[in-house]
Structure 1
Amino acid sequence: MNNIPALKLGIAAVSRDCFPMSLSENRRKEVASEYAKKGLEIFECPTVIENEKHMRQALAELKEAGCNALVVFLGNFGPETAETLLAKEFDGPVMFAAAAEESGDRLMDDRGDAYCGMLNASYNLKLRNIKAYIPEYPVGTAKEVADMIEEFVPIAKSIIGLNNLKIISFGPRPQDFLACNAPIKQLYNLGVEIEENSELDLFAAFNEHKDDPRIPAVMKSMEEELGEGNKMPGILPKLAQYEITLLDWVEQHKGSREFVAFANKCWPSFQTQFGFVPCYVNSRLTAMGIPVSCEVDIYGALSEYIGTCVSEDVVTLLDINNTVPADMYESEIKGTFDYTIKDTFMGFHCGNTAASKLSSCEMKNQKIMARALEPDQEPNITRGTLEGDILPGKITFFRLQSTADAKLTAYVAEGEVLPVATKSFGGIGIFAIPEMGRFYRHVLVEKNYPHHGAVAFGHFGKVLFEVFKYLGVEELGFNQPKGMLYKSENPFA
């Protein structure tokens, strides 16, 4: 994927002037050595920072090395002014960690008191309104700090990605989809750029790509991906033309930004004018690391992009769609999996999930749209969905959202896709999330979230939670376990 940041991580040790500088320097070297044992690279800033002049020197060394993320390491107590100014002036995400004491035999001459220094560092960061990642328990041995740094990597990639992201939208949103509408103010607060266009702009660009010489090569790629699922080959020329249109738009419109995501109109006039459904193309771009959200869901695209950075894998965007029928639950889930029926639901979209995340895939037409646009006839303009059951396995369901009054909120919930046939249509799976029923009522409904949720394929809740904290999310929901009541939950129920 070439649409997410490449990380160049640096580590800078800090030292309070009444402690031995060598203590901090040697502890930094031990951390870097442990990190290298993981097969990972980190630039060791040669200057140990005691004061503001050292801070300027270290900044120059980090910049020359091309570092875009930084670990500030308190090898001893640390200078609270210089270390927090370093975080303020460094151009990229910053993590703070501190050294634990190594041995009882060394407490007379080599005690560093970084446990204490971390308190002052955090206080000074708050005073200066500086964002920084501080691990759950930020004090440790060299190996433990190396583990913390490894956990910082996907967080740093997400922050760098957002600061260099442009979301390109083609609208307006479909009628009665106010749920996908949210103020864009928070995008700018996050460092994200937005380019909003008309559906007519997209249509004009699409028409300009008629008979593009690259179309046959894209069609061949589609044929190879679909294999036996290539049931509607006649629609491939238009889909290939559309894919090229979007990729060219990226290159022509990303401007000063490095990374791009789309939030695109996909119905109902799309079908009548373009002559197809764009779902399959959306799935292919998302597999390239360029998320394309449905129904002009701008915060859905934003969420997908964060998931791409965190997982370095394909993501998808699904409706939190329908309940699992009681008879299906009784015959296929109960007694086999440790979930109640309220823990389960079906996640669905028309056909935007990448082929690599489906058990099997087939090109079909959009069943719901066909009812209205071409009833009782052979599908034509509603062709273009990629359908199949979603691969079973671990997932994380999440979303970053702006409220109507422009406050950042988010939720994260880990669960799994069950290996149970859905017996339905679209890109769809049976999802199971512990205590989903309560989460649905007291987070999704209570906090007014839209029906779209981003899905990362794996358990990434810990990282996503930290990303959202770093971004300044004011209210962060999760699927609380039994015995942990939500604020709005009736304790007598």
Structure 2
Amino acid sequence: MNSKVAFFPLARTTFFMQSAEESFKKSSDMLKEIFHHISIPKELLTSTEMLSEFADTLPQQNLIIYQCSTFVGSEFVSELTRRFQCPIVVWSLREPSIDGGRLKLNSLTGAFSAANSIRMQGYHHEFVFGNPEEESVVSKLRQIGSAVEMMKKLRTLTIGIIGSQPPGFGFGELDEAKLAETFGTRLVRTEAASIMNKAASYSNEDIAKSTKELMARTEGYDKFPAENLQKYARLRTAYQAFIKETGAGAVASHCWPDFFTGFGAPVCAVLSMLNDNGIAASCETDIGGVLSMFIGAGFSEEATYLGDPVAVDEKCDSIVYWHCGAGASTLAKNKEGAKLGVHPNRKIGPTMEFGLKSGEVTVLRLGKDKDGFRMFIFKGEALEEPQKFFGTSVTIRPEGGKAAEKVAEFVKDGWEPHFVVAYGDVTEQIKIMCSFLDIKIWEY
């Protein structure tokens, strides 16, 4: 992890310093294994003067880890909130013994004192309880580090917007000012016509790389007319040029009807290849959707899937998520592979045609509410089920089942009709990030 992290181990010498010193050493060694750029003092900080001297050596940080090695009052954390504008972890150690004798550390009370002060000042924090050798502590700190890394990436993220939302799809638009204020993310826009004009200008030599990429990752390209594949390759090349020109790390793209009527080809397969290559890409110009894809891909370290919740399959107590054919080829079932097809409604290709692989998943969505952003999450399992509809689809059973009841909740709570499927359980990282960013979490 490349974030700048500072460790502040605080103690009062009136407590059992031997235990505090041992914890300081073990904590320092463990933190160095997690964070590549962590600043650690040479000794326990036992006064606000010592804290200030160490803080004077530091630039602004991405994360502060505030360990109550023993009890300390809120004057310590207040000095940190005055100096640094970043998330804080309040870490409490366990008592060395509970045996009717001396209270040796009183670390937990110190954590309460710090957390109360942080909250009353309007800042956000996470709490860690336990000793440095505990796996739960190591895991939580890794999750916090991952969340901080994501926040850092979002602050430098540029989302490329190609065209506008189709009629009736305004849910995909986000307020640029709120986006910049909350995440630091910026938008750069171009028209779909500009992409099509650029695509039409390329020579066959210019698009050869894009053609080879599609052939290497999919099956069935040999059954497509050369004209279709050429149009795909032209669009793929134009999208890559737009990304290079703008520095975009994610793309929210218009798709229907313009690319069908204006260029004679869908952009589904283009978006699939972008997702495969680490550029989150959504269709129907869904900005909230692509930001969710970027977050999910960053935490899961693989491509994510954007889908409509189109059906409840009572036979397997699951929700079917579907889209026309823009799923990342790397998410296809291993046995069947990523096949090419034609758009189910427009009958033009190439699009992706497969069912997604099985496995543990997190379904998420950064949504809009009346007073800002909110985050949807639930854990589930992508089942080894047959492909349910033409296009790309995945069948997901929510943790605990009751799929029909869950869907009723989602609709009643007014969620957007696009959701993101990330493989693996990344719920804790998302919740930590949202806590730091003051985004309301709706967990189902």
TM-score by length of 1: 0.79
Do the aligned residues in 2 keep the contact of 1:13 with 1:25 (CA within 8 Å)?
Answer: no
Residues 349-371 of structure 1: per-residue CA shift (max 9 Å, x gap)? 1122111111122111111123x
Deviation of the 1:227 alpha carbon: 4.2
Aligned residues: 434
Name structure 1 gaps, 5 residues minimum: 334-342, 371-381, 480-493
Q: Provide the C-alpha distance between the structure 2 equivalents of 1:211 and 1:365, rounded to a whole number of angstroms.
A: 25
* 2:423 equivalent in structure 1: 457
Q: Which residue of 2 is the match for residue 133 of structure 1?
A: 126
8 Å contact 2:275–2:281 — kept in the other structure? Answer: yes
Partner of 1:361: 338
Amino acid across the alignment from 1:366: H
Cα distance in 1 for partners of 2:438, 2:204 equals: 45
Task: Kindly indicate whether the alpha-carbon contact (under 8 Å) linking 2:176 and 2:186 is maintained by their aligned counterparts in 1.
Answer: no
CA pair 85-104 structure 1, distance change in 2 beyond 3 A: same
1:52 positional shift: 5.5
Q: 1:447 is aligned with what amino acid? A: D
Q: Which one of the candidate residues 220, 242, 257 is aligned to 1:249? A: 242
Contact 1:167 1:263 in 2 (8 A): yes
**Residue 414 (str. 1) matches residue 372 (str. 2):** no
Report the counterpart of residue 438 of structure 1 in structure 2. 405
Cα deviation for residue 401 of structure 1 reads 0.9
Q: 1:398 aligns with which of 357, 361, 364?
A: 364
Q: Kindly provide the amino acid, as one letter, of the partner of residue 211 in structure 1.
A: S
- Counterpart of 2:26? 30
Tell me which amino acid in the other structure corresponds to 1:413: F
Correspondence 1:275-294 to 2 at 5 A? 275-294=264-283
User: Is the 2:192–2:258 contact (alpha carbons within 8 Å) kept by the matching residues of 1?
Assistant: no
Deviation of 1:402 after TM superposition, in Å, equals 1.3
Q: Which residue among 66, 76, 83 is the counterpart of 1:72?
A: 66
**CA apart distance, 1:67:** 6.5
SS at match of 1:161: helix
8 Å Cα contact 1:35-1:147 kept in structure 2 = no
Kindly indicate whether the alpha-carbon contact (under 8 Å) linking 2:23 and 2:132 is maintained by their aligned counterparts in 1.
Answer: yes
Residue 151 of structure 1 and its aligned partner are, at CA, apart by 2.5
Aligned to 1:14: 10
Asked if residue 43 in structure 1 is aligned to residue 38 in structure 2, the reply is yes
1-structure distance, mates of 2:61, 2:264? 47
- State the SS of the aligned residue for 1:33: helix
Assess, with a 3 A threshold, how the Cα gap between structure 1 residues 249 and 76 changes in structure 2: closer, same or farther: farther
User: For the Cα contact (< 8 Å) 2:217–2:338, is it kept in 1?
Assistant: no
1:41-440 matches, within 5 Å, as: 41=36, 43-46=38-41, 48-50=44-46, 54-59=50-55, 61-63=57-59, 68-86=62-80, 89-90=83-84, 92-103=86-97, 108=102, 111-134=104-127, 138-144=128-134, 145-191=137-183, 192-207=185-200, 210-211=202-203, 213-228=205-220, 231-232=223-224, 234=226, 235-254=228-247, 260-324=249-313, 329=315, 333=316, 343-359=317-333, 360-370=337-347, 382-403=348-369, 405-433=370-398, 434-440=401-407
CA RMSD of aligned residues (A): 3.0
1:220–1:197 distance in 2 versus 1, CA, 3 Å: closer
Q: Per-residue displacement from partner, 1:329-381 (whole Å, max 9, x unpaired)?
A: 3xxx4xxxxxxxxx3221111122111111122111111123xxxxxxxxxxx
Tell me the secondary structure at the aligned position of residue 386 of structure 2: coil
Tell me if the contact between 1:412 and 1:477 (Cα under 8 Å) persists in the aligned partners: yes
What is the CA-CA distance between 1:45 and the residue it aligns to?
1.0
Amino acid paired to 2:318: T
Provide closer, same or farther for how the CA distance between residues 292 and 102 of structure 1 changes in structure 2, counting only shifts above 3 A: same
Asked if 2 retains the 8 angstrom alpha-carbon contact of 1:358 and 1:389, the reply is: yes
Q: Extract unaligned runs of 5+ from structure 2.
A: none
Cα distance in 2, alignment partners of residues 395 and 307 from structure 1: 10
Structure 1 SS opposite 2:284: coil
TM-score by length of 2: 0.87
Indicate how the Cα distance of structure 1 residues 6 and 352 shifts in structure 2: closer, same or farther if over 3 A, else same: farther
